[in-house]
Amino acid sequence: MADGQADIGVIGMGTMGANLALNIAEKGFKVAVQNRTPAKAFALKDDNPELADNILPAETLEDFVKSLNTPRRVIFMVPAGQPVDDEMDKIRPLLEDGDVMIDAGNADFNDTVRRAKTVEGTGLKFIGMGVSGGELGARHGPSIMVGGDKDTYPLVEPVLTKIAARFHDAPCVAWLGTDGAGHFVKTIHNGIEYADMQMIAEIYGVMRDGLKLEPAKMAAIFRDWNSRELSSYLIEITAVNLDETDPQTGKPMVEVIIDEAGQKGTGRWAVIEAQKLGVGATTLEAAVAARGLSSRREEREHAAGLYAGVEAGQSQFFADEAGFSELESALVTAKIIAYAQGYAAMAAASDENGWDLPLGTIAEIWRAGCIIRSHFLDDIAKAYDKGQKVVNILQAPDFVGRVAKGQSALRRVVAKAALAGIPVPALSAALAYFDDYRRARGTANLTQAQRDLFGAHTFRRFDADGAVHHKWPAV
């Protein structure tokens, strides 16, 4: 096949695909575009005359493939799951040795591992790539997490480096490991995003129900926090959300929005994978569970009637500067613990899959472009950059001091919330995990004794090697 003009192609002109294609075109690359409904590919060119020279829409998959130079680089930006397999199956017969298929959707990393296997030995190459930052990220610079064969990465690196977000001058893209590494890291990113958002929502709940603050006042507090340790995209947008007025009613926008949160599944995957790895990502679990319970609104409304008056009756919180800084400190501390859990899951997956995930680099490429971007991630990057092995973020010297200092604020906020009947499941999970993690002698000895009594599962003793069974009294 003769070489076409396009440097890279994008299949799928939905929100993400169209914006990614515009980003690629803007950076000076020629991008071929194709879509199940072809009109959308042509509309992209027509609607963006300033970039039209770099956008090459195709009516058919055959035309699309012909328009690409070799080795062909084809990005799929279609819904995760069967559509990706379908698109891969359709295009494979049209491709040649050395061509690269790139799944840039939110794939389950297990699917990515399977798809990588299907191209092994065929001459074709496959990359599974997590893209974070939503619509705006795709258009102006996402954070990009790449998985696949290391020697395939240079084929896409020049384009990805140009379109990725930049933290100062560093592009937020990296090759992270073979097959499913990129999509696994994106899944954990989303799990951490769930936890981060849930903990912010819990602090909002304390402000609303404990401190009886108006949204505009909360917005001012979040804006203030955004100038310090908590400085991040999520805190910034929270202030914007809280400051907004509904044009229809004149009420604060957050008060007209129904309290049912949606989810598309990546947070749940993060929790399931962490559980499979034996890592308790309890703050992520609390966040996923909270979204689930939020959607059972009618049931909650009925339960509220059954248990009215359970609250301590008076606010345990004080709306003064000391109270706000306690909340700030609690949120910082819980956030460190949530990230420690996400990082522990990535470390375990890295061992399990032989990925050798560069955990410091992951923090670096999350510093800009993605939803959880923050200065705090720069601190994590630095913790991994010290040349010593970080067993867990909670043992990294830079974080030990911060958690030791902040844990009493987290403890007080969780305790006061419990007494006031205000749910803070992710903050509580963070505190419980921290207390369990820092306890040298736990309580699993009793669990082992029970297991041995009812199931002869054996246990190990402090004073001898090997597993033993004890003859317990009959019950």
Distance CA 58, CA 405 (A): 59
Return the ∠ at Cα 386 (arms to 380 and 392), rounded to 5°. Answer: 50
Contact 445, 435 (CB under 8 A): no
Q: Which is nearer to ligand NAP, 79 or 278 (CB)?
A: 79
Residue with Cβ nearer ligand NAP (91 or 430): 91
Contacting ligand NAP within 23-52 (CB under 6 A): 35-37, 40
- Of the candidates 40, 87, 193, 202, the residue annotated as catalytic is 193
Among 79, 158, 354, 442, binds ligand NAP (CB under 6 A): 79
Sign of the torsion formed by the C-alpha atoms of 138, 139, 143 and 148: positive
- Closest by CA to 174, choosing from 396, 370, 15, is 370
Tell which one of 43, 48, 63, 83 touches ligand NAP (CB under 6 A).
Answer: 83
133 labelled binding-site residue = yes
Does the protein bind ligand NAP through residue 89 (CB under 6 A)? no
Name the burial class of residue 97, with classes exposed (0-12), middle (13-18) and buried (19+) by CB atoms within 10 angstroms of its CB: exposed
Q: Does the annotation place 52 within a ligand binding site?
A: no
- Helix, strand, coil content of the chain in percent (nearest 5): 55, 10, 35
Chain centroid to CA 10: 24
Q: How far is the CB of 132 from ligand NAP (least distance, A)?
A: 6
Q: What is the DSSP secondary structure assignment for residue 422, as one 8-state letter? A: -
12 makes contact with ligand NAP (CB under 6 A): yes
Q: Specify the stretch interacting with ligand NAP by CB under 6 A; choose among 74-82, 385-393, 439-447, 452-460.
A: 74-82
Shorter beta-carbon distance to ligand NAP: residue 164 or 230: 164
Piece in contact with ligand NAP (CB under 6 A), picked from 2-10, 66-74, 79-87, 419-427:
79-87
- Candidates 72-80, 234-242, 350-358, 440-448; binding stretch for ligand NAP (CB under 6 A): 72-80
Q: Is 72 annotated as a binding residue?
A: no
Minimum CB separation of residue 109 from ligand NAP in Å reads: 13
Report the site for ligand NAP in 274-333 (rule: CB under 6 A). none
The reply to whether 4 sits in an annotated binding site is no
Is 411 part of any known ligand binding site? no
Write out the two tokens for 276.
């499979």
193 membership: H or E segment, kind and range: helix 181-205
Q: How far is CA 228 from CA 182, 216, 224, 340, 413, in A?
A: 31, 20, 8, 20, 20
35 labeled part of a ligand binding site? yes
Q: Is residue 193 annotated as a catalytic residue, yes or no?
A: yes
Tell me the torsion sign for CA atoms 291, 340, 203, 252. Answer: negative
Query: What's the min distance (Å) between Cβ of 266 and ligand NAP?
Result: 8
Find the binding residues for ligand NAP in span 96-155 (CB under 6 A): 105-106, 131-132, 134-135
Of these residues, 45, 186, 335, 416, which one is catalytic?
A: 186
Token output for 389: 């092995």
Stretch that binds ligand NAP, among 14-22, 225-233, 293-301, 381-389 (CB under 6 A): 14-22
How many angstroms separate the Cα of 388 from the Cα of each of 177, 215, 395, 405? 20, 44, 12, 23
281 within 8 A of 341, measured Cβ to Cβ: yes
Rounded Cα–Cα distance for residues 156 and 102 (Å): 9
Full strand arrangement of the beta sheet holding 8-11: 55-57, 31-34, 8-11, 73-76, 100-103, 125-132, 143-148, 173-177
Q: For residue 86, state whether it binds ligand NAP (rule: CB under 6 A).
A: yes
Binding span for ligand NAP by CB under 6 A among 12-20, 373-381, 393-401, 455-463: 12-20
- Considering the complex, what minimum distance in angstroms separates the CB of residue 34 from ligand NAP? 9
197 belongs to an annotated ligand binding site: no
| Residue 131 C-beta: closest distance to ligand NAP, Å | 5
Distance CA 15, CA 175 (A): 25
Count residues contacting ligand NAP (CB under 6 A)?
23
Q: Give catalytic status of residue 186 as yes or no.
A: yes
- Identify which of residues 15 and 408 has a Cβ nearer to ligand NAP in the complex: 15
Q: Whole-angstrom Cα distance, residue 199 to residue 337?
A: 11
Site for ligand NAP, rule CB under 6 A:
12-17, 35-37, 40, 77-80, 83, 86-87, 105-106, 131-132, 134-135
Annotated binding site for substrate: 106, 132-134, 189-190, 194, 264, 291, 451, 457
- Catalytic residue numbers, as ranges: 186, 193
